[in-house]
Structure 1
Amino acid sequence: MIKLLRKIHLFYSALIFLFFVLLFWPFFYFGTRNPKYYSFLNKARTSFSFLVTATTGIFFNFQFEKKLDKNQTYIYCANHSSNLDIIVFCLLAKGRYHFMGKEELKKNPVLGIFFKTIDIAVSRESKISSFRAFKKAGENLENGMSLIIFPEGRIDDVYPPVLQEFKNGPFRLAIDYNIPIVPVSVVNLWQFMWDNGLKYGTRPGIVDIYVHEPISTVTLAGDNADVLKDEVFKKINSKL
């Protein structure tokens, strides 16, 4: 019975998602036409994310170790266990921000419009693609756009999810550009929607998100990337 209810909720959620995609599509299209509209685009993404999750009965409890500065540029790093992780950060991040994700997202019928414009797609199998992606991310950081990245690189096949090894890229960026890193523990979202929800369905409820205190990188050198990576890994994993 529970499995059936979760499948029904998944179907209902898909319909809600499709409805709001169609409703917001003109705003998304307009916002992606020119970088000067990206602040407007992110506000549209925030509104879209709130309406989709609220209508499907999924709410977020954000706990902050320290209040974030809305005028500060950050690199947000989080564990990745659900497609809804993107929505989490559309609600959490303020001002100008962008995502970095896998190359395949360019072909996604919804996310493709973002990953061809404001967001950055990267092929981790290609060193040239990775170089270009992180170069672009560095330019965006210099221009005051916060970066949201899932350093595991993908949603793993393990269920229940276990935090996987991090890639080095975001930590080198943080040091090279003196950008503070915000570790974020998405504690229990997988219980409401793991991966794309197709295997176990979805359900409503309250998701706990723990936002750790930002880690300053001003005094770190390039060879400290592994140390920073390990520190962020431990902080995120401590709340999972």
Structure 2
Amino acid sequence: MLYSVLIKLFKVLFWLGRVKVEGRENIPAQGGVILAANHLSFWDPVVIAAVVNRKIHYMAKEELFENIFLASFFSRLNAFPVKRGLPDRKALKKSLVLLEEGKVLGIFPEGTRSKTGELSKPQHGIAMLALKGKAPVVPVACIGTKKIFPWGWFSPVVIIIGKALIYEEFYDAKVTTALLEGISKDIMDRISLLHNN
């Protein structure tokens, strides 16, 4: 309920702010899928959720759930906590259940917001989820969201959604550090291409 109300509100705000979207058709209409985006601003998950026609379940840093009221708020927005920089089996299990249920999982592979605007090296979690969840990964580039509020209301914001990446040939392969690094890098490279083009 809260998710739907807020998304409708932000759809109007972002329409007024002329947020441009490219490639919305690249998101599968059904089935489990991972949206992997670069992270520039607190507003990234909100903007993406407002321009995508499916409900997104986001991983969010554990610190946001330390306060009982904030924890309730973010949970009602379909977010769930993840420990940054550490293997988090609970978050991994939650993510895999969501994918198995045919839902959309939103992830920022860099693990934190970029302070410079440049894309950073990805964490391995995105690759692990793509393999264990046997789910397509849709790369998403956020451009201009760092200045969306409060002074940059008229700054151009563009969300570019790329074609789904499927790593089916590795689903039954032995999971090694090299494999996770390779897939994570490939995903981040695709996001970078969208971002820079």
TM-score, normalising length: structure 1: 0.69
Q: Which runs of 5+ in 2 are unaligned?
A: none
Aligned to 2:129: 173
Tell me the alpha carbon deviations over residues 158-182 of structure 1, each in whole angstroms, 9 at most, x when there is no partner: 3xx1111111112111111110000
The one-letter code sitting in structure 2 at the alignment partner of 1:133 is A
Cα shift at 1:116: 3.5
Q: Which runs of 5+ in 1 are unaligned?
A: 1-26, 29-40
- Contact 2:19/2:158 (<8 A) preserved: yes
Q: How far apart, CA to CA, are the structure 2 residues paired with 1:205 and 1:72?
A: 34
Aligned to 2:183: 228
Query: Counterpart of 2:126 in 1: which secondary structure?
Result: helix
Cα shift at 1:98: 0.3
Equivalent residues, number: 189
Deviates more, 1:58-67 or 1:72-81: 58-67
Deviates more, 1:163-172 or 1:203-212: 203-212
Q: How far apart, CA to CA, are the structure 1 residues paired with 2:85 and 2:169?
A: 32
Instruction: Find the partner of 2:90 among 128, 132, 150.
Output: 132
- Contact 2:26/2:162 (<8 A) preserved: no
State whether structure 2 residue 14 is matched by structure 1 residue 53. yes
Q: Which has the larger radius of gyration?
A: 1
State whether structure 2 residue 19 is matched by structure 1 residue 69. no
Q: How far apart, CA to CA, are the structure 1 residues paired with 2:53 and 2:38?
A: 19
Aligned CA-pair RMSD: 2.5
Instruction: Find the partner of 1:119 among 79, 88, 100.
Output: 79
Query: Counterpart of 1:120 in 2: which secondary structure?
Result: strand
Aligned to 1:10: none
Q: Identity of counterpart residues, as a percentage?
A: 23
Consecutive aligned runs of 4 or more in structure 1 exceeding 4 Å deviation:
107-111
